Amino acid sequence: MRPHPLVAACVAALMCAALTSCSREDDGRNAEPTAGAAVDPEPEETEETGTPSEESEEEPPFGTPVGWAGHPGQVEETEEPDEDEDDGEEVDDPEEHTAVTGGAGGETVTAKDADELAEHLRTDEPLTVEIEGDIDLDGRIRVGSDKTLLGVGEGAELTGGALVVEEAANVIIANVTMTVDETAVSIGEGAHHVWVDGSTFSGGDGDPLVSVTDDADHVTVSWNRFTDAEAAILIDGGDDEERERAPRVTVHHNFFDGTTARHPRALNAEHVHVFNNYFRDNPEYGVSSADGANVLVEGNYFERTPLSVATEKDDEPGNVATRDNLLVDSDQPELRGEVPDPPYAYELDDTVTIPDLVGSRAGAH
């Protein structure tokens, strides 16, 4: 993937440090599905059970994403075929897509300013784009398919704009700090297999820092820190009659540090899996399910969050299942409906360890 041996060695070391893929051997990769029940805030009452499942046969070169972004699957095409190009051959629909690997297999390039960054991210070929230091985005920058955006060294700080993933697939954004006045990472309009990992987000001016909207699908948001913001993550599938598909999103090992709400808020989502996150001092609520969304909340640590999970939105509630959560000065929610287990393998860390584990590792480094 990288043309020069010295560069390859340096990048491998940096990636290991930046994403802590070496130190996170037990962060939910190549493990077994678990099952259990929601518990009261007594550590000794937390139990985890599980059933065996098959592990991935091959680990992608960037590391193994956990959750929906790492799950191969069929994704409906959102664009109608061009009638002028119809040659009479059958078109496979939906298409089968593999787990996210980002720019693996392509070159590694460096971006020092917003113009270079935008140019690299809109190219057609696979690329790993490394950035170090501060970059003023000066607006919204689109991220094309088969890209890895990676902060190196002590990471990278992006301000003054947003990263937009639309009509693109196979994207990784990792080890960046974004302080913004709008949504930092916007994923929508047919985007799929997107992984946002090991980054720090703040600001937003009331907008969600990460949004997964419309018919975006197969998204994982993991090991990030959200702070100094009113809204963290919005997952909104939009109108049932207009969308091509409903979002499937995994939110795991994130630190929601004093953020007000939406951790995430899910509306019209097919499946949202929220596990092993650390919620601390969230004044409104932790997780919200509305408009028929299906949300599984397990193994999370809620601390001084008045309502851990909310299921009501006027007359349009969502479905919620909870298990293995610890509630410290937080209320147990009223559950509603049934939510299936996810189809992928994952490891559920002991809920008691989440404040130390996630509190020390989540975010850009």
Catalytically annotated residues: 262
Neighbours of 8 (CB within 10 A): 13
- Strands 127-142 and 176-180, by their bridges, are unpaired
Q: How far apart, in whole angstroms, are the C-alpha atoms of residue 123 and residue 334?
A: 48
Write out the H or E segment, with its range, that includes residue 355: helix 354-361
Q: How far apart, in whole angstroms, are the C-alpha atoms of residue 27 and residue 20?
A: 10
130-141: buried (b, 16+ CB within 10 Å) or exposed (e) per residue?
A: bbbeebebeeeb
Q: How far is CA 194 from CA 22, 155, 191, 342, in A?
A: 21, 20, 7, 17
- Strands 73-75 and 95-97, by their bridges, are antiparallel
Q: Which of 29, 362, 26, 13 is nearest to 198 (CA)?
A: 362
Q: How far apart, in whole angstroms, are the C-alpha atoms of residue 291 and residue 336?
A: 12
Neighbours of 344 (CB within 10 A): 21
